A and B are shown apart, each in its own frame.
Chain A
C-alpha cells in the first residue's frame, strides 16, 4: 500500500497510508487528511489511486499545490515525490518501492470490475525493504574497431550502439553486439563466415571479443580494441 509522510517545516508529523481510491486534503474537517492551517484551502487537493498508481489533483486551491517545487494542477505521483501545501509537506512512497517480492508483484493479472475497490481495501502494509530491480550490470568500457587494410585502412569505428553491423549487405555481414558482459560478434549473412584471430565463427553463435582480436570479414581485416 502506498503512503504519505506528513511533515511541517521538515519535521515529520505522521505516516498516512493511502487506503481509499480518493483521499482528500484540506482545512475543513470532512477531509481525509485535515490540515488546520489558514494557508490551506477548505478543499485543497485530492489523491486518486488506481490500484498501484496515484494521481494528485489540485482542487483550485487559493495558494496552489506544488510537487518538488513545481506548481501542479494534475500530477502522476512517482515514488519519493514531495507534495507541498503551504509549509506542510507530504512525501509520497509508492507500494512497489516498499514491496519485498517485486518479481511476484509484476505478474500479469486480469483486471476485474471489483478489483480497484478490493485492491485498495485489502492491501496490507508490506515490510519495507529496498530491493532495487535487477538492473543490467555496469556497462563495459567502450571499444572500437580499426580497419587495417584496403581503401578504408586506418579508419576507426566506435562501438557505441548496442548493435553495429560490419561488411557489405548481401555479400558478407557480421554484427557486434554490446552487452553488459562485453562485446560479441556474430555472422549475419553471406556464404563465408568471419574469422576472428584465426578462428572461423559458427553460424548464429556469438563469439566474445578480446582486446586486439583481428576480425576478417571478406578479406577486410579489422582490429578490435578496448578504449582506456
Chain B
C-alpha cells in the first residue's frame, strides 16, 4: 500500500517546441498521487528523439505505478535497500533495454536515446535519478540550488579545471552528453536522496530552459511567482522563448505543501527498533 500524495504535492508542467526546432523531442510525465515526476529530452534523427523520450516517460511512469502499487517505496529489501531505489534502478534498466532494443530493431530509430530526470517523493524524502543533462533544482528559502550534476563533456571540463563555470557559458560543446538512456545495452543512472521540506519547490527541466535562461533569472521567477505555480511554469517557458527559444523547453514544478512521513504501525516501529 502506498500513501496517496495528491494532497501533499502540487505539480505544474509545461513543454514547448521553442522557436527554432520543428518538433518537440521532450516528454514529461507526472503522477502527483504517487509522488512521481519524470522528464526526458530525446535525441536522434527525424522523429526518433520523440520516440525515445516518449518511451522513457511512459514506460517508466506505468512501470513505477505498478511497482509501487505492489509494494510501498519505503519497504526495505532483503539487502536493506529501500524499494524506491531498487524499483527506480530496475525500471530504468528496463526502459533502457526497451529503447535500445527498438533502436536495434528498427533502422529509422537507430542511435536514438534520451536524457532522464526523475523525482520520486516518499517519506519526507525526494529520490532523484538522472542521466544526461536534464536537471533538477530545488527552491528553498529564497535560494535556488542545482541538485543534479550534468553528465556532459562541459561539466567534466569544469570539474577537471580546464574551463571555468563562467567560460562554460561561451563553450561550443554545450550539447554533448556523456551518458544517455537507450544508447547502450545497460545504463547507470545517478541516484541521490534529499530531504524534502514543506515549502520546497522542485524544478525539473530540459537544457532548453537552463541554456536560455540564467539561474538567477529562474530564481527571480520562482521568487515572484511562487504563489502561482502554473503561471510560474508558463513564465519560465516564455522566458526561454523570449531569449531565443533555440531548443525544446520543458519545465515541471513540484511544490511540497506539507510534510509526508510514512505512517508506521506499532509493530513496524518495533521491528525497526529491533533491527
Per-residue contact bits, chain A 165-202, to B (CB 8 Å; 1 contact, 0 not):
10001100101010110000011110000000000000
Give how many B residues have a beta carbon under 8 Å from the other chain's beta carbons.
Answer: 47
Contact A177:B238 (CB < 8 A) given known A108-B115, A169-B227: yes
Contact A135:B244 (CB < 8 A) given known A103-B20, A111-B153, A175-B224: yes
A110 at interface by CB-CB < 8 Å: yes
Residue of B nearest to A163 (CB): B224
Contact A106:B175 (CB < 8 A) given known A134-B20, A134-B246: yes
Per-residue contact bits, chain B 113-151, to A (CB 8 Å; 1 contact, 0 not):
101000000000000000011000000000000000000
Q: Which residues of B contact A188 (CB under 8 A)?
A: 224-225, 227-228, 231
Q: Which residues of B contact A108 (CB under 8 A)?
A: 41, 43, 115, 132-133, 175-177, 207
A216 at interface by CB-CB < 8 Å: no
A211 at interface by CB-CB < 8 Å: no
Contact A133:B244 (CB < 8 A) given known A179-B238, A204-B228: yes
CA distance A51 to B176 in the complex (A): 10
Is the pair A103, B21 in contact by a Cβ cutoff of 8 Å? yes
Is the pair B220, A55 in contact by a Cβ cutoff of 8 Å? no
Q: Which of B175, B231, B242 contacts A107 (CB 8 A)?
A: B175
- Smallest beta-carbon distance B160→chain A, Å: 11
Residue from A78, A95, A108, A110 with most neighbouring chain B CB atoms (10 Å): A108
- Smallest beta-carbon distance A73→chain B, Å: 13
Residue of A nearest to B248 (CB): A108
CA distance A107 to B113 in the complex (A): 12
Is the pair A53, B175 in contact by a Cβ cutoff of 8 Å? no
B94 at interface by CB-CB < 8 Å: no
Is the pair A50, B153 in contact by a Cβ cutoff of 8 Å? yes
Residue of B nearest to A135 (CB): B244
Per-residue contact bits, chain A 76-107, to B (CB 8 Å; 1 contact, 0 not):
10100000000000000011100000010111
User: What 7 pairs between A and B have smallest CB-CB spacing?
Assistant: A52-B172, A189-B227, A163-B224, A111-B176, A188-B228, A103-B20, A108-B43
Q: Could you write out 15 A-B pairs with CB less than 8 Å apart?
A: A51-B172, A53-B163, A103-B246, A106-B246, A107-B43, A108-B133, A108-B175, A111-B152, A111-B153, A111-B178, A136-B244, A163-B220, A173-B227, A187-B231, A204-B231
Other 12 A-B pairs with CB < 8 A, given A53-B173, A78-B170, A109-B175: A50-B157, A50-B162, A53-B171, A76-B167, A76-B171, A107-B43, A108-B207, A111-B178, A134-B245, A170-B227, A179-B242, A188-B225
Residues of B within 8 A of A (CB): 19-21, 41, 43, 113, 115, 132-133, 152-153, 157, 162-163, 167, 170-180, 183, 207, 217, 220-221, 224-225, 227-228, 230-231, 234-235, 238-239, 242-247
Residues of A within 8 A of B (CB): 50-53, 55, 76, 78, 94-96, 103, 105-111, 133-136, 161-165, 169-170, 173, 175, 177, 179-180, 186-189, 204
